[in-house]
């Protein structure tokens, strides 16, 4: 039963091949049996999940239908879940039980999804390896000595190991797409504003976006359908009609114009990944796509700009964790300043502290123009590059990452080395564009992802291309040994 | 211009972040390495480029000035480290 995709589960529940309670019970025991190897869950909500499953079965028995009714999900542990610990992977929030549901959580629960638990993540979503979690590193099911990527590493590892068919993640600089690539999944970062950020613990508010991780594009379409939509409670939510993401999955790719940015194939890219990306392009050409070389000349400036904008916003967002209203508080503070400093010093891990410090520095008097304004100007140059490219092509294709998943600990002593691995994903966050990573082969037994980027609000186009690709390839169907 | 230990102490104070004394040298090195990466921005000619704050250039929406939330103080204070009579407790600020 654990091999089923979300789409297959929807059919099985509809034709009564199994109940949600049976499915939920089977997956919960699989999590119990296999997750100790992976550490992909921070919290498993067993009793609540079984209650939700029975409620979903009752709704179906009373005539209700719906693709997500009774289907399992787990949420990255930065989505607030009413009455359930929401830790954000941090000691700071180890004892924090959210008093309300994030909009995404509420929408999926309303659609009848059964929440199996909360998945592990880099602390406050800061990281690309899921090694900065207070709850320990997550292992990649394809090779337990390697990282699963991050920051949505637990969400990715759990789905890759067939513990459940789909999870939610968030993507600020690649945190859905990169772990999807590292674990042979399909992962989608929607357009900025497409999915509500309300109840998502903020890292960098102008970049953060929630989205689905699953094994197929078809499943991502189903899940995105449940997540997307305008939300008045999110001040940057965009009031844009939500199309039926599953309706055009099979649309023809005849005449589709794909742009290959030459900057995505330069120095630093593992040549074996370059070959696999070219092979995926050949498959898409066979489906009718036409390919054109393009240029995104400012891509190289994205990482420096990101490491100003994201830490600056983080230093502001994380100021709310002060030991007063929620979260960790130090013992016996001698005064208010001591309370703030020790609570934050004890509650935040090293990577979070580094980013708060960088952000505080960049925003401090005398440095604001040289750092923050400069980074925002570069942000516009990057957006302009994309707008110019999309005048000539429908989508942009390249590798999701320059290298496959690295070994646990390999980059933990040098933060900048890890930052550079996000070179292909960060631009979509700076420009706010939708991006998808899909499985495209293996290097040394480790999965490789291909990234597709589209103009604003064209998630449906990305899902269509990935689905057609997945009809003629079988990379996405491969499962890791032992899972 | 690399940050010195005293700069790092000053930034940590601005951020209200109590750093471990023994880790300051390593922390200073890490920050300098990150700022070295960030400083690559200075080579980019951005003269005349308008800063971009929101990818879709959206502006803040306004809503009617009406009460939409009910009072849930007890519920929201249940997660606080220390409260009394609906107030958050902190160490004495004024003697």
Per domain, the residue ranges of chain A are 6-255+436-449+462-477
Average pLDDT over residues A393-412: 96
Is B89 contained in some domain?
A: no
Q: Terminus-to-terminus CA distance in chain B, angstroms?
A: 42
pLDDT digits (tens, 9 = 90+) for A433-481: 999 999 999 999 999 999 999 999 999 999 999 999 999 999 999 999 9
B49 and A301 in contact by Cβ < 8 A? no
pTM: 0.97
Residue A427 tokens, joined: 């631009």
**CA–CA separation, A350 vs A360, rounded Å?**
15
Average pLDDT over residues A41-46: 98
Surface-to-core class of residue A444, CB atoms within 10 Å of its CB (0-12 exposed, 13-18 middle, 19+ buried): exposed
B58 and A307 in contact by Cβ < 8 A? no
Phi, psi at A89, each rounded to 5° = 70, 20
Q: Which residues of B touch A329 (CB under 8 A)?
A: 81-82
A 404-463 near B (Cβ less than 8 A):
414-416, 419, 430-433, 456
Q: Is A76 a catalytic residue?
A: yes
List, in order, residues 6 or more apart from A55 with CB less than 8 Å away: none
Q: Is A133 a catalytic residue?
A: no
Q: How many residue pairs from chains A and B have C-beta atoms closer than 8 A?
A: 166
Please determine, for residue B63, whether its predicted confidence score (pLDDT) is greater than 90: no
Q: Got the DSSP string for A67-105?
A: TTTT-EEEEETTB-BTTBB--TTSGGGTT-B-SS--HHH
Task: Judge whether A80 is closer than 8 Å to chain B, CB to CB.
Answer: no
Closest Cβ–Cβ partner in A97, A322, A340 for B79: A97
Please determine, for residue A1, whether its predicted confidence score (pLDDT) is greater than 80: yes
Residue A141 tokens, joined: 């099911």
Per-residue pLDDT band at B57 (split at 50, 70, 90)? confident
- Residues of chain A above pLDDT 70, percent: 100
CATH code of B18's domain: 1.10.20.60
Please determine, for residue B50, whether its predicted confidence score (pLDDT) is greater than 70: yes
Q: Which of A471, A394, A376 is nearest to B55 (CA)?
A: A376
Q: What angle do CA A380, A382, A384 make, to 5 degrees?
A: 70
Domains held by chain B: number = 1
Other Cβ atoms closer than 10 A to A92: 26
pLDDT digits (tens, 9 = 90+) for A338-391: 999 999 999 999 999 999 999 999 999 899 999 999 999 999 999 999 999 999
A361 and B55 in contact by Cβ < 8 A? no
B 28-87 near A (Cβ less than 8 A):
30-31, 33-42, 44, 46, 49-56, 58, 60-61, 63, 72, 75-82
Residue A97 tokens, joined: 């039980």
Is B58 contained in some domain?
A: no
Residue A100 tokens, joined: 């309300």
Radius of gyration of chain B (CA): 22
**CA–CA separation, B15 vs A137, rounded Å?**
27
Residue A78 tokens, joined: 């930065």
- CA nearest B56 in A: which residue? A432
User: How near does any CA of chain B get to the CA of A362, in Å?
Assistant: 9
CATH number of A6-255+436-449+462-477: 3.90.1300.10
A238 and B58 in contact by Cβ < 8 A? yes
Q: Is A62 a catalytic residue?
A: no
Q: Which domain holds residue B33?
A: 5-41
Average pLDDT over residues A152-169: 98
pLDDT at B1: 65
Q: Got the DSSP string for B33-58?
A: HHHHHHGGGGGS--TTPPP-SSTT--
Surface-to-core class of residue A254, CB atoms within 10 Å of its CB (0-12 exposed, 13-18 middle, 19+ buried): exposed
Q: Which residue in B8, B24, B34, B94 has the most chain A C-beta atoms within 10 A of its own C-beta, making it the best mutation to test that interface?
A: B34
**Chain centroid to CA A73:** 14
List, in order, residues 6 or more apart from B9 with CB less than 8 Å away: B19, B24
Surface-to-core class of residue A283, CB atoms within 10 Å of its CB (0-12 exposed, 13-18 middle, 19+ buried): middle
Task: Judge whether A68 is closer than 8 Å to chain B, CB to CB.
Answer: no
B34 and A415 in contact by Cβ < 8 A? yes
DSSP A173: S
B18 and A364 in contact by Cβ < 8 A? no
List, in order, residues 6 or more apart from A212 with CB less than 8 Å away: A166, A167, A168, A169, A176, A187, A188, A219, A220, A223, A224, A227
Q: Which residues of B touch A361 (CB under 8 A)?
A: 3, 11, 31, 35
pLDDT at A365: 87
Is B66 contained in some domain?
A: no
Q: Which of A20, A40, A76, A343 is catalytic?
A: A76
User: How near does any CA of chain A get to the CA of B21, in Å?
Assistant: 11
Residue A468 tokens, joined: 């057609």
Q: Which of A351, A352, A328 is nearest to A340 (CA)?
A: A328
Residue A7 tokens, joined: 């789409």
Q: Which of A343, A294, A293 is nearest to A319 (CA)?
A: A343
Please determine, for residue A412, whether its predicted confidence score (pLDDT) is greater than 80: yes
pLDDT at B69: 86
Surface-to-core class of residue B47, CB atoms within 10 Å of its CB (0-12 exposed, 13-18 middle, 19+ buried): exposed
Is B80 contained in some domain?
A: no
Contact A229, A103 (CB under 8 A): no
Task: Judge whether A387 is closer than 8 Å to chain B, CB to CB.
Answer: no
- CA nearest B20 in A: which residue? A345
Closest Cβ–Cβ partner in A238, A303, A377 for B51: A377
* ipTM confidence score: 0.96
Residue A27 tokens, joined: 């997956």
């Amino acid at each position: 039963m654990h091999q089923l995709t979300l789409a297959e589960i929807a059919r099985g529940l509809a034709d009564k091949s199994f109940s949600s309670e049976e499915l939920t019970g089977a997956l919960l025991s699989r999590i119990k049996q296999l997750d100790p190897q992976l550490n992909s869950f921070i919290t498993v909500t067993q009793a609540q999940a079984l209650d939700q499953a029975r409620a979903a079965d009752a709704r179906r028995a009373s005539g209700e239908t719906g693709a997500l009714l009774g289907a399992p999900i787990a949420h990255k542990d930065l989505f607030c879940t009413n009455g359930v610990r929401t830790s954000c992977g941090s000691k700071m929030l180890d004892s924090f039980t959210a008093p309300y549901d994030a909009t995404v959580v509420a929408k999926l629960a309303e659609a009848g999804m059964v929440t199996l638990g909360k998945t592990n993540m880099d602390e406050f979503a800061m990281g690309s390896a899921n090694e900065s979690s207070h709850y320990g590193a997550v292992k990649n099911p394809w090779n337990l000595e390697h990282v699963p990527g991050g920051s949505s590493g637990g969400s990715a590892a759990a789905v890759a190991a067939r513990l459940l068919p789909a999870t939610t993640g968030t993507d600020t600089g690649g945190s859905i797409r990169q772990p999807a690539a590292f674990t042979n999944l399909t992962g989608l970062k929607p357009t900025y504003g497409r999915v509500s950020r309300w109840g998502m613990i903020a890292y960098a508010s102008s970049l953060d976006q929630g989205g689905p991780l699953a094994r197929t594009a078809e499943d991502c379409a189903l899940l995105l359908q449940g997540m997307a939509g305008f939300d008045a409670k999110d001040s940057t939510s965009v009031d844009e009609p939500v199309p039926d993401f599953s309706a055009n999955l099979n649309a023809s790719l005849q005449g589709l114009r794909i742009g290959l940015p030459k900057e995505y194939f330069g120095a630093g890219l593992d040549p074996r990944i370059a070959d696999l990306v070219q092979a995926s392009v050949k498959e898409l050409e066979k489906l009718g796509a036409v390919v054109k070389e393009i240029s995104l000349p400012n891509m190289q400036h994205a990482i420096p700009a990101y490491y100003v904008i994201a830490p600056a916003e983080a230093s502001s967002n994380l100021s709310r964790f002060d030991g007063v209203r929620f979260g960790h508080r130090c013992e016996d503070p001698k005064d208010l300043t001591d309370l703030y400093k020790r609570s934050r010093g004890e509650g935040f891990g090293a990577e979070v502290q580094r980013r708060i410090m960088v952000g505080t520095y960049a925003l401090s008097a005398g440095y604001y123009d040289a750092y923050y304004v400069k980074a925002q100007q570069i942000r516009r140059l990057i957006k302009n590059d994309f707008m110019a490219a999309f005048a000539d092509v429908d989508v942009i294709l390249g590798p999701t990452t320059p290298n496959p998943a690295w070994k646990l600990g390999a980059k933990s002593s040098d933060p900048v080395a890890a930052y550079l691995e996000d070179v292909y994903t960060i631009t979509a966050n700076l420009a706010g564009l939708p991006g998808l990573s899909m499985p495209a082969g293996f290097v040394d037994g480790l999965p490789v992802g291909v990234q597709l980027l589209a103009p604003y609000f064209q998630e449906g186009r990305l899902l269509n291309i990935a689905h057609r690709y997945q009809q003629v390839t079988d990379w996405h169907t491969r499962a890791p040994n032992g899972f | 211009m690399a940050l010195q230990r005293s700069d790092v102490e000053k930034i940590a104070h601005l951020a209200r972040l109590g750093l471990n004394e023994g880790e300051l040298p390593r922390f200073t090195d890490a920050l300098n390495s990150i700022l070295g990466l960030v400083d690559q921005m200075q080579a980019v000619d951005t003269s005349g480029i308008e800063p971009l704050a929101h990818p879709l250039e959206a502006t803040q929406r306004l809503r009617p000035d009406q009460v939409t939330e009910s009072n849930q103080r007890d519920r929201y204070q249940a997660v606080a480290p220390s409260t009394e009579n609906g107030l958050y407790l902190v160490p004495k600020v004024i003697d």
